[in-house]
């Protein structure tokens, strides 16, 4: 049957768009289905992205069967940040047929060209604050929370279609029974002697709001030059923080302060993908029961970021935060066996040096692609 690519324009088509990945991953034991409500919200006309960007989902059809999907998007904050007309694609899923993948990419690129974009980049689900990157090495284990997963043939298809590597990123494996080098404890002593204090993030009431605002300001300061990253409003940041609040383990999310001012943080979260694996993308009443049951089995975590203000590097705050979080993670009663530190751009040597000094090893590689739009 003929292959057709159609824009998603109705609520029924959006439901079909959300269902499509099941065809790709039906026999893959490592796939963790994203929460359907979260993906739906990202694509909603009411989502904050629509105030600074535009997007169009597409579905590939053959014989009344959805066999692929893609979203083309223009993020004006990214364009403003980079000073060039770069568009993005994301939400990419496709059966193992190159023709389908090639047609989806062509349609997305045509849509971006119509909006005067001269470069396409992806996969990026609207912005790098959401899911992005393709997995290129490390297919033998499931993804941790908020990290991507895909079949190996996705990258093969992109390269065959003429897309070029833009940049790789790494995920590090850190076993909790690893013994930290003495310099981490030494860093903690140096930081505390210089007046820096450490405490768990607050997760309730006004304290939570205050910490989130301080985190936002620190994020904005420390990560403003991150590659391919676009600015977030404080409202966007606080909304995401509210969603994550219920999954935070405060002790593995330590905050560094100097005279009450937040100067660093270690963002560790329990890996709730171990729970989402059993929910089939739905957090209905049955999903909530499963959520409460399976979260007791979480024994791994993810470290999303380790951050300190530049002026506190000589006070060893970043290394001290690793020490504080590690001590919390190995406390009696804590379930953690290992953690993933992800993701780190290949050329972010400052972060890589801290991570590799802890003894963590690269165990997964991810890739971002680009394509010039003639």
* Residue 249: per-residue pLDDT: 95
On the question of pLDDT at 284 being above 80, the answer is: no
- The answer to whether 129 and 232 have CB atoms below 8 angstroms apart is yes
pLDDT > 90: percent of the chain: 82
313-347 b/e with 16+ CB inside 10 Å = b?
eebbbbbbbbbbbbbbbeeeebebebbbbbbbbee
* pTM over 0.85, yes/no: yes
Residue 146, phi then psi, degrees to nearest 5: 70, 20
Q: Which domains, from first to last, does the chain contain?
A: 3-169 (3.40.630.30), 178-336 (3.40.630.30)
Q: Tell me how far CA of residue 290 lies from CA of 35, 295, 372, in angstroms.
A: 14, 8, 46
> Is residue 312 very low, low, confident or very high in pLDDT (cuts 50, 70, 90)?
very high
Residue 67, phi then psi, degrees to nearest 5: -120, 5
pLDDT tens by residue, 155-187:
999 999 999 999 999 999 999 988 899 999 999
* Residue 257: per-residue pLDDT: 98
In what helix (H) or strand (E) does residue 368 lie, and over which residues does it extend? strand 361-372
Q: How far apart are alpha carbons 90 and 368 in whole angstroms?
A: 11
Q: How far apart are alpha carbons 282 and 276 in whole angstroms?
A: 9
In what helix (H) or strand (E) does residue 65 lie, and over which residues does it extend? strand 65-75
The residue-averaged pLDDT of 331-355 equals 94
> Is residue 20 very low, low, confident or very high in pLDDT (cuts 50, 70, 90)?
very high
> Is residue 219 very low, low, confident or very high in pLDDT (cuts 50, 70, 90)?
confident
Q: How far apart are alpha carbons 156 and 176 in whole angstroms?
A: 35
On the question of pLDDT at 269 being above 90, the answer is: yes
Q: How far apart are alpha carbons 337 and 225 in whole angstroms?
A: 33
Angle between helices 234-244 and 205-222 (to 10 degrees): 120
Phi-psi region of 254 (alpha: psi -120 to 50; beta: other; left: phi over 0): beta
Residue that the structure tokens 């090495």 belong to: 137
The residue-averaged pLDDT of 213-235 equals 87
Q: Both tokens of residue 45?
A: 């006309």
Phi-psi region of 83 (alpha: psi -120 to 50; beta: other; left: phi over 0): left
Dihedral Cα 132, 133, 134, 137, nearest 10 deg: -130
On the question of pLDDT at 287 being above 80, the answer is: no
């Amino acid at each position: 049957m003929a292959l057709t690519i159609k824009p998603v324009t109705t609520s029924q088509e959006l439901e079909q768009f959300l269902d499509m990945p099941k065809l790709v991953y039906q026999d893959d034991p490592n796939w963790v289905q994203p929460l359907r409500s979260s993906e739906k919200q990202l694509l909603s006309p009411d989502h904050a992205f629509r105030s600074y960007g535009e997007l169009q989902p597409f579905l590939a059809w053959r014989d009344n069967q959805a066999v692929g999907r893609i979203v083309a998007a223009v993020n004006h904050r990214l364009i403003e940040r980079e000073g060039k007309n770069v568009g993005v694609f994301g939400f990419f899923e496709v059966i193992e047929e190159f023709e389908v993948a090639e047609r989806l990419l062509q349609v997305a690129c045509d849509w971006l060209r119509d909006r005067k974009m001269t470069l396409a980049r992806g996969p990026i689900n609207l912005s790098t604050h959401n899911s992005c990157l393709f997995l290129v090495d490390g297919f033998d284990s499931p993804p941790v929370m908020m990290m991507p997963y895909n079949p190996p043939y996705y990258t093969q298809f992109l390269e065959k279609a003429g897309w070029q590597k833009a940049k790789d990123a790494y995920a590090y494996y850190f076993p909790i029974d690893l013994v930290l080098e003495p310099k981490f404890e030494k860093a903690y002593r140096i930081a505390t002697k210089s007046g820096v204090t450490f405490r768990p993030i607050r997760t309730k009431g006004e304290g939570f709001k205050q910490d989130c605002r301080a985190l936002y300001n620190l994020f904005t300061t420390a990560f403003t030059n991150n590659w391919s990253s676009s600015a977030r409003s404080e409202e966007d940041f606080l909304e995401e923080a509210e969603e994550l609040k219920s999954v935070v383990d405060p002790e593995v999310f330590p905050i560094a302060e100097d005279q009450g001012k937040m100067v660093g943080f270690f963002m560790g979260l329990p890996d709730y993908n171990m729970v989402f694996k059993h929910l089939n993308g739905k957090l209905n009443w049955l999903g909530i029961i499963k959520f409460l049951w399976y979260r007791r089995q979480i024994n791994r975590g993810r470290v999303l970021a380790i951050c300190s203000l530049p002026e506190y590097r000589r006070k060893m705050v970043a290394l001290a935060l690793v020490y504080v979080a590690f001590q919390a993670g190995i406390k009696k009663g804590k379930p953690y066996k290992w953690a993933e530190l992800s993701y780190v751009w290949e050329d972010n040597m400052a972060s890589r040096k801290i991570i590799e000094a802890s003894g963590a090893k690269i165990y997964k590689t991810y890739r971002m692609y680009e394509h010039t739009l003639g």
